[in-house]
Amino acid sequence: MSLESKLQVASAEYQTVQDQLQNVVLSRQKLGAQLSENQAVKKEFDALTPNNTVYKLIGPGLIRQDQAEAKANVDKRLEFITSEIKRVEKQLEELQQKGERVKSQLVELQTQLQAAKTDAPQIAA
């Protein structure tokens, strides 16, 4: 395989990694927003007294919900979001490392290609 084709392959791989990285960053941002929302809900639930009534929005209407059940649902959601954030951050770290490897490979191939062009005999026109 020629240096040019290796460079094209590495360049395409680098672009793919960058696209994947961008998608993972967007996922992390969404999860961060969901975490903040659910933490705010938990904080509100912590301020409730046993006499307070909790309602859940289902379709166009509010349905009464058991306070303990609502708190448990928020706690489960927080647990799930936290585990998803950890998974996405690990994926983000792996993609960043892969991106760095491919980037250094690209630089090396570009250097080799440049050296090959410099070493090639010059043809006079």
Note the pTM of the prediction, 2 decimals: 0.79
**CATH for 3-117?**
1.10.287.370
pLDDT tens digit sequence for 15-72: 999 999 999 999 999 999 999 999 999 999 999 999 999 999 999 999 999 999 999 9
* Residue-wise DSSP of 15-76: HHHHHHHHHHHHHHHHHHHHHHHHHHHHHHHHT--TT--EEEEETTEEEEE-HHHHHHHHHH
